[in-house]
Structure 1
């Protein structure tokens, strides 16, 4: 139940001037923009907030305010909403399927509340949803979107999108639950309109239409057509409800893949981009710790391999406008252990995923920063490729640090992209170091 895993298919810093030397000239691929430092362009800064991060990681919505990230973000994507076997958006307290307790039932005390006031037993909305509402009140202009699916919860997307009737019912259920805010009753929590105003739109995170995703996720050849029609249905119903509320709009976005084969199998790019406000490009998991050799997971440039630049080009070649492309960035690393072969460790055989705090082979940036500062690991950088990794002779972690993110934000500005997205906000340092690096980079500082 986390970000996309491209590598499960079985499959840095450099100065801006140096990276530019290896990049196509601005405008060569149709992605040019006059927007540059000082132009006043508003870039998207989209961070995923994980439902489950409030438990072991103890990362609360209030932490986004305390560490300054909330003031730098334009969007928060709440991960995730699930799709039932009947093709409906739903929530509840179902282990592994839904967590209404975290979403809207769990009371927070004053110390963990954005507004500094403890939740009461009888208020209809508590939990993360209420805190997001409070965060928006404190930071006007901040938008919150519900992200539907994800790697683990895309299981029933194909069925939900299968027919005009199923699409219509699916979209109605999602708008009723998240936009109108009609939550299932959970004691004193929930009810009609309980979460109204929390969400400003919907993010579609179907992994993947037309091609394999998680082991239990169904996919069909007709998913490409059906996804296009599903996007149209969401756009139509969201716009209709916005008009009924005398509101300008509700936003509609999607998380989309790197691999050209996956793009072609599931995405009619020109058509969906007309209905989507923007898409968040997969900019990570190009390689993962389950593979037998170490490799980069998020390089800006890479010859003959997946890369951020290659992803941008793939989407633009298929008709996506640059200003609707938001670059995904990892706030975590992929790691291997038992690395042999010497050198800097990259491209070498490994015995398996590296031990880590939450899941083998996956570690938050805040923990990797401590490794880098410990003296036990050496930081290596591919200055042309725009990526970094840590290696201690046995264990290797590939990750993005502030220097890498500055190079990537420079690329965004030079190529006229729409902004940056991050998975996930709970992996940053307590003072929001990565968020600050992205914010400054997009401002040209």
Structure 2
């Protein structure tokens, strides 16, 4: 039976998505992730994982008095249970004789905005944030990075000094679909999370040639992924690493906790993520609707959710994003000033982004710029489809355009614009596919 109203997760509640008349959506057209089997006893599961690590000795056997330990956690845009895992890890380290002064904690921010003191306290918990030396690596300050050389692929390996100079690194993160790395997590917390901008840019250029499509790497295996292979080569230039990683659903929902050698942990969790989050095969739709849940509202991560579903759309179709936006997260990755600058360019700016991006991208690739991959993703999203976004808070702050992307605060106005953007013969009964939790689900490129 087809329905006109679809309930979509929306900031802890739901949004009633009212489809236009005649645009019924059947049950098979609404794609949800498999969220069954969330664990009821996370502390017990974490303890079991640490007691029987995969491919590695126990953490307590890898350290002792005098050991320098660098803990790296993913940044606040993820919903990893860092504040719950961290005390358990710290207890085991100190039980093995590691001194408080020999432990540092760094947030793997990569290109995201720095993590300030308040955000660090929320991420780690008041106790760890007040007790240990905590860092948000300055991505452009080369003096803060150790130069470990160059990989066989030509990647300059420059790692934040507290991480590079430790005797062991403990990585606390999660595995989620990633457009270019296949899945996030693992060594990616360091490469690029705590790497200098030059390393970050070189890693993100892996697998993206002039005519290639980054979307072909989404959800793939590490053995076939150029970025993952480059990350592993870079990690080999560090000392020992130990991973504490998770497969997560919505915030507070953990399916699996694993510990041990980062590569072994990463592949095990990626295999389960693939089975839970990959959308079933279906013909490409004229209109795809993608909610950003459970991302907390960072616009860049929300646009990545659209990219993760791009293969579900026909060329020339319309992609609709439903972006719930937490005011605290709205400029985590892309400063509001930059968004306003793009928005202020209006329709001419949208035309320029569509037409000139390939030329600018080629120029930046030739200069080995770290911005090249961002332009590639932008072009892949907008080059052959219309993109409309329902995001009232974003509309309030920057208006109705972000380059070629139109932003709406009213559903009826948005659907009218979607209908106008469709070919005339598809306006009355387009094929529609909806991904309410688009931050988890993904559609691989055929």
TM-score category (smaller protein): under 0.3
Please state which structure has a larger fraction of its residues in helix.
2
